[in-house]
Amino acid sequence: MKLAEILKQDAEGVYRAAEGLFKQVDDQTLDWKPQTGSNWMTVGQLLHHASNACGSTIKGFITGDWGFPTDAKPQDTPPDAMMPPAEKMPAVKSKVEALKLLAEDKALCMKLLSEVSEDRLANERSAPPWGGPERTLYQHCNEMIWHLGQHKGQLFYYLKLQGKPVNTMTLWAGM
């Protein structure tokens, strides 16, 4: 199996499960966040972040278009510039908006993975603009799929804490 096909298969599963979890959100709970700890995103912020956690970032790795300047060194960038504290993060206004954004991100992800060459995936190396080691393009794309997967899991626990009937099948199969 080719690397791009593996990525697309993994992405398909994560997006399917994320969509199933998004559908369980009630618009009245968009401002909800865990009561203990700090720097938690609200449900609306989490949906917004998750809905552009994969395809738009894969776009940066594949095309170099990050949507922000990348010439600054991570150590010279204020912490809030790359990842603002939760209270400054954007939020969706509805579940319908979140599902639309997630579908657009998925379409972008699948388009990019269909167009990228196997040679680039296997051999092109770079470091992310936020810092970290050089890795292959395949590894970066894989990590972005699991970035969405991480936030899918976060939403699962948000829903569980709200008393929603979520379970292992919801988390992994979107059912």
* pTM over the 0.85 mark: yes
- Residues 125-151, mean pLDDT to the nearest whole number: 95
CA distance 105 to 107: 5
Residue 125 phi, psi (nearest 5)? -120, 145
Which residue has better confidence, 84 or 63?
Answer: 63
Residue 130 DSSP code = T
Q: In whole angstroms, what is the distance from residue 15 CA to residue 101 CA?
A: 12
Pull the structure tokens for residue 116: 């990228």
**Least confident residue range of 19-33, 62-76, 153-167:** 62-76
Q: Which of the two residues, 74 and 89, has the higher pLDDT score?
A: 89
Q: Is there a contact between 159 and 166 (Cβ–Cβ < 8 Å)?
A: yes
Domain coordinates in residue numbering, the chain: 3-64+90-133+155-173
Whether the pLDDT of residue 68 is over 70: the answer is no
Res 142: pLDDT? 98
Q: Is the pLDDT of residue 43 over 70?
A: yes
Asked if pLDDT for residue 175 goes beyond 90, the answer is: no
- With vertex at residue 22, the alpha carbon angle to CA 16 and CA 26, rounded to the nearest 5 degrees, is 155
